[in-house]
């Protein structure tokens, strides 16, 4: 097996497959991620998502891609009782994450807030018109589809590869990954888990995603911030966790579940994963590892 990488959706995307299939696999995956990034990035003023947010208060005629991703995001918001909230863009921007993280940097000290941010929950008022393929975001609300869009893009890339006959592949977008088939002479993919001090697991099918605060964090007015917000307050979640990794059938579900478990905290997060029959690890700020469900076999 061989691999190649490219930059898209604010991260490094790796495609791994056979040497024969790699050029075509990379071309297809790169085109797909580029198209998704151009349509769904909140950092691109010309993206369709940015246009939707500017149209807040009015029906917006959406592309099939944008409509599908928003619909899935709202579905997960309902299924998690709002813990996964795709309508926190105004809050995260006020907390300082108003440009790409490479532009913010970890050493930048941002000015303190002039006033408190508002709680989330605006997703409850987002309206979808399936017949017209229109989305209406209420005034004062804006969508951020970053995490779920990346997970869905991984799934879509694998599906596209399979459709053209590439049946053995791994697609990894910054740690959110999914696999199809198995490497030659193996029945599973060995996947390194950084949070477990180099432990490697065997992933036979499906996907794994990680949510955490080890990379996307900054300081604002002398206060540490990160990008995983608690909808009840609109502020970064403070539940004593550093990372959560989840294995699921799809990268979309793994991404949503990891974020939900992180925001809920160790106990509630582990119970959420168990309720969905998912395997996960929750790593506390002190380094304690809590395992949920049937975490895969360890190889090292």
Question: Averaged over 179-199, what is the pLDDT?
Answer: 87
Neighbours of 286 (CB within 10 A): 7
**Three-state secondary structure call for residue 185:** coil
Q: What is the pLDDT of residue 15?
A: 97
User: Phi, psi (5° rounding) for residue 4?
Assistant: -150, 155
Give the separation between CA 139 and CA 46, rounded to whole angstroms: 20
What contacts 4, CB < 8 A, 6 or more positions away?
Answer: 14, 15, 22, 26
Higher pLDDT, 48 or 299: 48
pLDDT given at position 17: 96
For 163, counting Cβ atoms within 10 Å of its Cβ (0-12 exposed, 13-18 middle, 19+ buried), the class is exposed
Per the listing, tokens 């997960």 go with 76
Structural domains of the chain sorted by starting position, each given as residue range(s) with its CATH number in brackets: 2-292 (3.10.520.10)
Using CA atoms, how far residue 257 sits from 61, 65, 210, 282, in Å, is 30, 22, 9, 12
**Would you state the pLDDT for residue 222?**
81
- Among 18-22, 72-76, 238-242, the minimum mean pLDDT is found in 238-242
Q: Mean pLDDT throughout 2-17?
A: 95
Over residues 46-65, the mean pLDDT reads 98
Tell whether pTM > 0.85.
Answer: yes
DSSP 195: G
For residues 223 and 140, the model is more confident at 140
Please tell me the predicted confidence (pLDDT) of residue 298. 65
Per-residue confidence band for 200, with pLDDT thresholds at 50, 70 and 90: confident
Rounded to whole angstroms, the Cα distance separating 220 from 151 reads 29
User: Per-residue confidence at 223, pLDDT binned at 50, 70, 90?
Assistant: confident
Report H helices in the chain.
22-40, 48-54, 64-79, 89-94, 101-104, 146-163, 251-264, 266-275
Mean pLDDT across 176-191: 93
| Mean predicted lDDT score pLDDT of the chain | 92
CA 113 to mean position of chain CA atoms: 26
Q: What percent of the chain has pLDDT over 90?
A: 75
Residue-level pLDDT at 131: 97
Residues 6 or more apart in contact with residue 7 via CB below 8 angstroms? 13
Task: Tell me the per-residue pLDDT of 155-170, one tens digit each, with 9 for 90 and over.
Answer: 999 999 999 999 999 9
Q: Terminal CA-to-CA distance of the chain, rounded, Å?
A: 21
Position 104 scores a pLDDT of 67
What integer is the mean pLDDT of 75-97?
95
Q: Is the pLDDT of residue 23 over 70?
A: yes
Angle formed at CA 272 by CA 246 and CA 291, multiple of 5 degrees: 50
pLDDT at 242: 92
* Higher-confidence position of 145 and 96: 145
| 207 CB neighbour count, 10 Å cutoff | 25
Whole-number Å distance between alpha carbons of 102 and 85: 24
Compute the distance between CA of residue 23 and CA of residue 222 in angstroms, rounded to an integer. Answer: 47
Query: Which residue is listed with tokens 């002398």?
Result: 222
Per-residue pLDDT at 185: 87
pLDDT for the residue numbered 41: 96
């Amino acid at each position: 097996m061989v691999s190649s990488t490219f930059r898209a959706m604010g991260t490094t995307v790796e495609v791994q497959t056979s040497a024969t299939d790699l050029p075509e696999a990379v071309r297809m995956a790169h085109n797909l991620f580029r198209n998704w990034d151009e349509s769904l990035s909140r950092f691109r003023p010309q993206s369709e998502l940015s246009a939707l947010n500017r149209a807040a208060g009015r029906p917006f005629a959406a592309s099939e891609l944008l409509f599908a991703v928003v619909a899935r995001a709202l579905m997960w918001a309902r299924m998690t009782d709002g813990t996964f909230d795709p309508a926190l863009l105004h809050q995260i921007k006020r907390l300082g994450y108003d440009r790409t993280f490479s532009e913010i940097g970890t050493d930048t000290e941002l000015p303190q807030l002039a006033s408190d941010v508002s709680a989330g929950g605006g997703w409850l008022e987002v309206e979808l018109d399936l017949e017209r393929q229109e989305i209406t975001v209420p005034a004062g609300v804006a969508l951020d589809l970053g995490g779920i869009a990346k997970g869905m893009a991984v799934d879509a890339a694998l599906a596209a590869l399979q459709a053209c006959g590439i049946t053995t592949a791994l697609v990894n977008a910054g740690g959110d990954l999914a696999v199809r088939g198995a490497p030659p002479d193996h029945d599973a993919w060995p996947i390194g888990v950084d949070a477990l001090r180099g432990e490697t697991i065997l992933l036979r099918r499906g996907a794994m995603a990680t949510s955490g605060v080890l990379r996307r964090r900054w300081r604002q007015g002398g206060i540490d911030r990160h990008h995983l917000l608690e909808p009840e307050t609109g502020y970064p979640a403070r539940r004593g966790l550093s990372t959560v990794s989840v294995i699921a059938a799809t990268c979309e579900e793994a991404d949503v579940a990891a974020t939900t478990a992180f925001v809920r905290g160790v106990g509630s997060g582990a119970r959420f994963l168990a309720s969905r029959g998912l395997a996960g690890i929750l790593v506390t700020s002190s380094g304690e590892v809590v395992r949920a469900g049937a975490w895969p076999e360890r190889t090292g």
